[in-house]
Amino acid sequence: MATLLFPFATILFLIFPFLQSACATSSINQLPRSNHRQTTFSVTDYGAVGDGKRYDTRHIQAAIEACSEAGGGRVRFPAGEYLTATIYLRSGVVLEIEKGARVLGGTRLMDYPSECGRWYVVLAENVTDVGITGGGVIDGQGLEFVEKMDDRKNVMVSWNRTGACYGDECRPRLVGFLGCRNVAVWDVRLLEPAYWCLHIVRCVNTSIHDVSIYGDFDTPNNDGIDIEDSNNTVITRCEINTGDDAICPKTYTGPLYNLTVTNCWIRTKSSAIKLGSASWFDFKGLVFDNITIADSHRGLGLQIRDGGNVSGITFSNINISTRYYDPSWWGRAEPIYVTTCPRDSTAKAGSISDLLFVNISANSENGVFLSGSKGGLLSNLKFINVNLTYRRWTNYQDGLVDYRPGCWGLVNHSTAGIIMEHIEGLEIENVNMRWYGNLSSGWDNPLDFRPSTVNDISLLSFHSGLYKQ
Ligand SMILES: *[C@@H]1O[C@H](CO)[C@@H](O)[C@H](O)[C@H]1NC(C)=O
Ligand SMILES: *[C@@H]1O[C@H](CO)[C@@H](O)[C@H](O)[C@H]1NC(C)=O
Ligand SMILES: *[C@@H]1O[C@H](CO)[C@@H](O)[C@H](O)[C@H]1NC(C)=O
Ligand SMILES: *[C@@H]1O[C@H](CO)[C@@H](O)[C@H](O)[C@H]1NC(C)=O
Ligand SMILES: *[C@@H]1O[C@H](CO)[C@@H](O)[C@H](O)[C@H]1NC(C)=O
Ligand SMILES: *[C@@H]1O[C@H](CO)[C@@H](O)[C@H](O)[C@H]1NC(C)=O
Ligand SMILES: *[C@@H]1O[C@H](CO)[C@@H](O)[C@H](O)[C@H]1NC(C)=O
Ligand SMILES: *[C@@H]1O[C@H](CO)[C@@H](O)[C@H](O)[C@H]1NC(C)=O
Ligand SMILES: *[C@@H]1O[C@H](CO)[C@@H](O)[C@H](O)[C@H]1NC(C)=O
Ligand SMILES: *[C@@H]1O[C@H](CO)[C@@H](O)[C@H](O)[C@H]1NC(C)=O
Ligand SMILES: *[C@@H]1O[C@H](CO)[C@@H](O)[C@H](O)[C@H]1NC(C)=O
Ligand SMILES: *[C@@H]1O[C@H](CO)[C@@H](O)[C@H](O)[C@H]1NC(C)=O
């Protein structure tokens, strides 16, 4: 544990010297700031009414500009409801949304800029030393974007109808940091995004802690935290309860290095942790430690589809509970799911190497799935101290292997404790599989080597048997 936490501590203290006393005192008055005297600008002094009905956009933006012109500081939102179109953060500015204050994202297309890539309620672009804190709420009013409620999966409004963008994921995100340095998102609640919630893109040195994210459980694409093409990101003490992927590193335009996630609680109708599926570049040096995953459709997932290479990833001290939900959501109750199957016939195969799973305990309705591909082997995987308890408690169909997105899609295949294909090097040490109830009910096969390349598998102290209280 000590050695695993070393990178976390190192990143925290090297990158965020201003955090050191904050950690000790849990004071939040040392967020990024310029060298100038710390100044606070209240949005109400700039005309914001905070009645939740009239748009306060101009007033909020005026406070941000004044703060930035003064060399940076805080923009304070006292208790109240601030309805707003997109607001833009400037360098050196920290939004301090106080307890009792709620920033409400507008629900009209005209509330957002013309390029859909900039549709956020709060947007920071190419700026440094910025943040959000204060204990209050940013609310995307996501339910206003539901066209038809459905407890399998809601049907959402799409602004593609006006030609504003294409595809079916055409809604605004909640908070975006694009191309930023020294970002802090501390002690805020992010609620009901219409689409993705917190989006970190091409950033360096980001700290996210004590953030709670709540998104409607039936709403598609309301991801928790999406981290793209970014280096040195630390996420800790977060609680994420949402419909779609909770913590989702991706690579579109460049690699992703050094992401550390610790002490979090997650529930989702899709993957709790998901690398990919966008994976055009490499992922290196990721640590996930002390995480609880409850009632999710998939626990720890790597869906590498686009040719990126993944290496040096550790998952430690994680409790997982996974169950089936409607199959329109990706995920088949797998506690651990690792694939490199190319997205389609034109995609290159990526590879995954040096994965460590240590001190993992799972209760799940399906087994572990480890599937490389011909050109994209899985190599050097380790499972150490892993307890897998298998039990069915929902009535959804089992016996399907899920290669989505793309690849082979959903494929009929009997269930097993661990399914393996295209692997070079797998060490299983001190792994216990326990089966609840009837062993002859059709999914009692502990290890399933699919007819493909599976080399250098070692089992040390591996057990499979009936669950005993
Ligand atoms: C795994 O758990 C054991 C026993 O609780 C602990 O001693 C060890 O440090 C843990 N390993 C890691 C990598 O956290
Ligand atoms: C990130 O933080 C590290 C450590 O404080 C620092 O050396 C580096 O310059 C920072 N990177 C950027 C892009 O600001
Ligand atoms: C931010 O930087 C990117 C990359 O250099 C550039 O494409 C984009 O236009 C910039 N955005 C703004 C608002 O300056
Ligand atoms: C618009 O979104 C809907 C789903 O909300 C989708 O079915 C449709 O194909 C999309 N149309 C276009 C032109 O992207
Ligand atoms: C992250 O680090 C890698 C490796 O040094 C570099 O190629 C990449 O440009 C960095 N990303 C950003 C956003 O600075
Ligand atoms: C990632 O972290 C390691 C060790 O803390 C550091 O040496 C390396 O420079 C970091 N990589 C990037 C791209 O920042
Ligand atoms: C693990 O995370 C929980 C919060 O989810 C926290 O209460 C607990 O102290 C953490 N444990 C360790 C050993 O850091
Ligand atoms: C992944 O590794 C392979 C084999 O070394 C290499 O050909 C490919 O370019 C790498 N992918 C990326 C995105 O760098
Ligand atoms: C996992 O469960 C065990 C046993 O109930 C408990 O000791 C441990 O703290 C839990 N760990 C996490 C990360 O929730
Ligand atoms: C696995 O189960 C054994 C026996 O119940 C227990 O001693 C051990 O702590 C468990 N390990 C984990 C990682 O939960
Ligand atoms: C999968 O099995 C179901 C019945 O269990 C059957 O209806 C379906 O056609 C099968 N699909 C394929 C692709 O074989
Ligand atoms: C176990 O399953 C088999 C086959 O489905 C069935 O014949 C048998 O009665 C079951 N036994 C128990 C104890 O449920």
Upstream peptide bond of 193 is cis (omega within 30 degrees of 0): no
Q: What is the rounded CA–CA span in Å between residue 133 and residue 73? A: 12
Q: What is the reported pLDDT for 262?
A: 98
For ligand 10, atom 3: residue with the closest CA: 387
What would the pLDDT profile of 60-96 be if each residue is shown by its tens digit?
A: 999 999 999 999 999 999 999 999 999 999 999 999 9
Distance 361 CA to ligand 10 centre (A): 7
Q: Residue 202 carries which side chain, given as an amino acid letter?
A: R
Amino acid letter for position 57: T
444 alpha carbon – ligand 12 mean position (Å): 12
CA dist 376 and 260 (Å) reads 25
Under DSSP, the state recorded for 91 is T
The set of residues, in sequence order, having a beta carbon less than 8 Å from that of 14 and lying 6+ positions away, is none
Per-residue pLDDT of the chain (469 residues; tens, 9 = 90+): 334 333 434 444 444 433 333 333 333 345 555 444 569 999 999 999 999 999 999 999 999 999 999 999 999 999 999 999 999 999 999 999 999 999 999 999 999 999 999 999 999 999 999 999 999 999 999 999 999 999 999 999 999 988 889 999 999 999 999 999 999 999 999 999 999 999 999 999 999 999 999 999 999 999 999 999 999 999 999 999 999 999 999 999 999 999 999 999 999 999 999 999 999 999 999 999 999 999 999 999 999 999 999 999 999 999 999 999 999 999 999 999 999 999 999 999 999 999 999 999 999 999 999 999 987 789 999 999 999 999 999 999 999 999 999 999 999 998 999 999 999 999 999 999 999 876 556 677 899 998 789 999 999 999 998 877 6
What's the token pair of residue 129?
Answer: 């030393």
Question: Quick check: pTM over 0.85?
Answer: yes
Which residue's CA is the nearest one to ligand 3's atom 1?
126
Pocket test for ligand 4, best of 116, 168, 221 (most atoms within 8 A of CB): 168
Q: How high is the pLDDT of residue 439? A: 58
pLDDT confidence of residue 11: 44
Using DSSP, state whether 417 is helix, strand or coil.
strand
Can you tell me which atom of ligand 4 is nearest the CA of 161? 1
Q: Is ligand 8 within 6 A of the CB of residue 307? A: yes
Please name which ligand lies nearest the alpha carbon of 146: 4
- Alpha carbon separation from 453 to 117, 373, 460 (Å, rounded): 42, 9, 21
Sign (positive or negative) of CA dihedral 364, 366, 370, 375: negative
CA-to-CA distance for 64 and 66, rounded, in angstroms? 5
* Residue 385 CB less than 6 A away from ligand 1: yes
Task: Name the strand (E) or helix (H) holding 60.
Answer: helix 57-69
Residue type, 211: V
| Number of residues that this document lists for the chain | 469
Give me the CATH topology for the region 39-200. Pectate Lyase C-like (2.160.20)
For the chain, what are the domain ranges?
1-30+245-469, 39-200
Tell me what pLDDT residue 31 has: 57
**Ligand 10 pocket at CB < 6 A:** 359, 361, 385, 387, 432
For ligand 4, the distance from its centroid to the CA atom of residue 169, given in whole angstroms, is 8
Test site for ligand 9: of 261, 319, 359, most ligand atoms within 8 A of the Cβ: 319
Q: How far is the CA of 301 from the centre of ligand 8 (A)?
A: 21
Average pLDDT, the chain: 91
Residue 224 region, left (φ>0) first, then alpha (ψ -120 to 50), else beta? alpha
**The pLDDT value given to residue 263:** 98
Q: What is the pLDDT of residues 106-140, one digit of tens each?
A: 999 999 999 999 999 999 999 999 999 999 999 99
Q: Residue with the nearest Cα to atom 12 of ligand 12?
A: 438
Ligand 7 site-directed mutation target among 241, 290, 292, most atoms within 8 Å of CB? 290
Query: What residue has token string 């070393």?
Result: 6
Residue 227, pLDDT score: 98
Which phi and psi (to 5°) does residue 282 adopt?
-80, 160
Cα–Cα nearest to 286, from 249, 239, 253: 249
Closest CA to 321 of 301, 356, 289, 292: 292
Residues 390 and 418 sit within 8 Å (Cβ to Cβ): no
Give the integer Cα–Cα distance in Å for 451 and 244: 33
CB 171 within 8 A of CB 146: no
Structure tokens belonging to residue 13? 């203290």
Strands in 368-371's sheet, in edge-to-edge order, are: 87-89, 120-125, 173-178, 198-201, 225-228, 247-250, 271-277, 298-304, 334-339, 368-371, 416-421, 445-449
